[in-house]
Amino acid sequence: MQIITPDYILTPDTLLSNMSVAFDKKIKKIAPLKELKKEFPDAVVTKLKKNSLLMPGLINAHVHLEFSANRTKLSYGDFISWLYSVIENREELIGGCDSSCMTKAIDSMLESGITTFGAISSHGMDLQACADAKQNVIFFNELIGSQAKMADALFTDFLARLDASKSIKREGFYSGVAIHSPYSVHPILIKKALQIVKKEKLKLTTHFMESSAERDWLDKSEGDFKDFFQNLLKQNSSLSSSSEFLEHFSGYMTLLTHAIKANEEELKMLSSNGHTVIHCPISNRLLGNGALDLKKLQEHNIRWICATDGLSSNYKLDLFEEMKCALFMHSNMPLLELAKQLIRSVTKDAADALGINSGEIAEGKSADMIVLDLQSKPSDELAIHLILHRYNISKVYINGILEKGI
Ligand code: BEZ
Ligand code: FE2
């Protein structure tokens, strides 16, 4: 048992002072130090510096590690141009990122306080790095392929990757499934994958309504995707409508990434199914997809959480940077309220959406915690200051183990 004594604790809904936390793998009790010492006399006590803040470790629900080699290869500003540049540079990017490149990306997340991440794995090349990561990992095996003639081979490959991920037995590692998107996965493949997901109760995610190209293609088989599909895949029309796609996810909680171009009907469907939207503001800006309407999501009572996406559409994997960009991007929202929602979105709400027992400094939760060195006593506007000032992260605990700091 250990006891940690910060000056302040952000739970994340409440700010506590003069309280300590007793924990092993899990948080056992939150109480004044004297009380905890009496209850746990053998515990090792860590007294933190003045103005230290303990808060839940951050959760990055959406990252593509296999693309971590990108710095300047990909074209930004327009979704379809970016997609062409991904296809053109795919071999070089994937080949250029070995396990050490992915481990570097994973370690950079640890440095910025990320204690859990959801890895969207296209090829399974990131499996070993994720198995070896210090963080909790939801390993989402991605299914992609719109051509019927390729379906059997693609599904066999998908099953092999899923099985390989299921063979990783370590605390905090979960296998999941990612359906790439409504435009890129054949409905037969989706059906087959979701049978497994539902039977095995796997965690499930997909990209959804990221670009105008996707909207136009699914609605009218027109727009920027027309040439792309005709030239590269010999397809003249979309394989399904957006509502047919969403139907696959009915009754099964799913994390949908982007949803910028989702319409009212789709938002109603997301809401009635308890789905979560993953918001990646930097990626959305760099790929020219515009800003997600957070107000509208809230009107529909849809949970949204903030994530980084991969280094194919970002310059770092840092949720503090991501939250800062979101704070400036959504300038129509009340500043303090948005800052609080963002902090919640990368802690408690992300944990709830992913179905993991983390994201809060609360009794019974996993001891996934970070220590920030504030410069002064926190004010009512702490959430804003946390996002703006990027305070030093002096300690990171994952499942009660100190993984960064001394
Ligand atoms: C496909 O594999 O069919 C596909 C991949 C990316 C975009 C669109 C389709
Ligand atoms: Fe993504």
Distance 383 CA to ligand 1 centre (A): 40
Give, using CA atoms, the residue closest to atom 1 of ligand 1.
145
Q: Which ligand is nearest to the CA of 210?
A: 2
Whether residue 329 is found in the same domain as residue 378:
no
pTM: 0.99
Q: How far is the CA of 17 from the centre of ligand 2 (A)?
A: 39
Q: What does each of the 406 residues of the chain score in pLDDT, given as a tens digit?
A: 999 999 999 999 999 999 999 999 999 999 999 999 999 999 999 999 999 999 999 999 999 999 999 999 999 999 999 999 999 999 999 999 999 999 999 999 999 999 999 999 999 999 999 999 999 999 999 999 999 999 999 999 999 999 999 999 999 999 999 999 999 999 999 999 999 999 999 999 999 999 999 999 999 999 999 999 999 999 999 999 999 999 999 999 999 999 999 999 999 999 999 999 999 999 999 999 999 999 999 999 999 999 999 999 999 999 999 999 999 999 999 999 999 999 999 999 999 999 999 999 999 999 999 999 999 999 999 999 999 999 999 999 999 999 999 9
CA of 62 to the centre of ligand 2 (A): 6
Q: Which ligand sits nearest to residue 307's alpha carbon?
A: 2
Q: Are 94 and 33 in the same domain?
A: no
Same domain, 346 and 363: no
Q: Which atom of ligand 1 is nearest to the CA of 233?
A: 3
Stated length of the chain: 406
Do residue 315 and residue 375 come from a single domain? no
User: Ligand 2 centroid to 358 CA: how many Å?
Assistant: 23
- What pLDDT, on the 0 to 100 scale, is given for residue 203? 98
| Same domain assignment for residues 190 and 328 | yes
Is 210 a residue of the active site?
Answer: yes
Pocket of ligand 1 (CB under 6 A): 144-147, 183-184, 233
pLDDT of 350: 99
Q: Which atom of ligand 1 is nearest to the CA of 184?
A: 9
In the reported structure, the alpha carbon of residue 256 is separated from the centroid of ligand 2 by a whole-number distance in angstroms of: 10
Residues with Cβ within 8 Å of residue 113, at least 6 apart in sequence:
57, 58, 319, 320, 370, 372, 393, 396
Ligand 1 atom closest to the CA of 147, numbered from 1: 3
Distance from Cα 175 to the centre of ligand 1, integer Å = 23
Of the listed ligands, the closest to the CA of 218 is 1
Most informative mutation of 85, 142, 146, 221 for ligand 1 (most atoms within 8 A of CB): 146
Q: Which of 233, 235, 239 to mutate to test the pocket of ligand 1 (most atoms within 8 A of CB)?
A: 233
Give me the CATH number covering residue 68: 3.20.20.140
Domain hosting 373: range is 2-57+358-404
> What is the distance between the alpha carbons of residues 82 and 287, in angstroms, rounded to a whole number?
7
Please tell me the number of the ligand nearest to residue 279's CA.
2
**Residue 162 CA to ligand 2 centre (angstroms):** 19
Burial classification of residue 388, based on how many CB atoms lie within 10 Å of its CB (0-12 exposed, 13-18 middle, 19 or more buried): middle
Q: Is the peptide bond between 41 and the residue preceding it cis, with omega within 30 degrees of 0? A: no
Does one domain contain both 267 and 312?
yes
CB 253 within 8 A of CB 276: yes
Do 114 and 95 belong together in one domain?
A: yes
Residue 311 structure tokens: 């280094």
Residues 335 and 274 reside in one and the same domain = yes
Q: What whole-number distance in Å separates Cα of residue 172 and Cα of residue 373?
A: 27
Q: Are 234 and 319 within one domain?
A: yes
Do 403 and 38 form a contact (C-beta atoms < 8 A)? no
In 275-307, which positions are buried (b, 16+ CB within 10 angstroms) versus exposed (e)?
bbbbbbbbbbbbbebeebebeebeebebbbbbb
Nearest CA residue ID for atom 9, ligand 1: 184
43 and 163 both lie in a single domain? no
Atom 5 of ligand 1, residue of closest alpha carbon: 184
Summarised one tens digit per residue, pLDDT across range 201-232 is 999 999 999 999 999 999 999 999 999 999 99
Q: How many domains does the chain have?
A: 2
Atom 6 in ligand 1: residue holding the nearest Cα:
184
Q: Please say whether the beta carbons of 346 and 383 come within 8 A.
A: no
* Residue whose CB lies within 8 A of the most ligand 1 atoms, among 82, 147, 180, for a mutation test: 180
Q: What is the pLDDT of residue 364?
A: 98
Q: Alpha-carbon distance 320 to 313, whole Å?
A: 16
Show which of 354, 373, 389 is a domain's final residue.
354
Nearest atom within ligand 1 for CA of residue 87 = 6
- Which residue has its alpha carbon closest to ligand 1 atom 8? 184
Q: Give the ligand whose atoms come closest to the C-alpha of residue 144.
A: 1
Read off the amino acid at residue 321: E
Catalytically annotated residue among 210, 214, 266, 360: 210
Nearest CA to ligand 1 atom 7: 184
Residues 239 and 131 placed together within one structural domain of the fold? yes
Closest listed residue to residue 110, CA positions, set 372, 397, 400, 399: 397
CA 96 to mean position of chain CA atoms: 24
Q: What is the CATH number of the domain that holds 366?
A: 2.30.40.10
The whole-number pLDDT of residue 238 equals 98
Ligand 1 center–CA 188 separation, angstroms = 15
Q: Distance (Å, rounded) from C-alpha 176 to C-alpha 204?
A: 6
Which atom of ligand 1 approaches the CA of 186 most closely? 3
Q: Could you give the CA distance from residue 181 to residue 359 in angstroms, rounded to a whole number? A: 28
- C-alpha atoms less than 13 angstroms from C-alpha of 215 in its C-beta half-sphere: 13
Residues 66 and 192 occupy one common structural domain: yes
Query: Under 8 Å CB-to-CB from 381, ≥6 apart: which residues?
Result: 336, 339
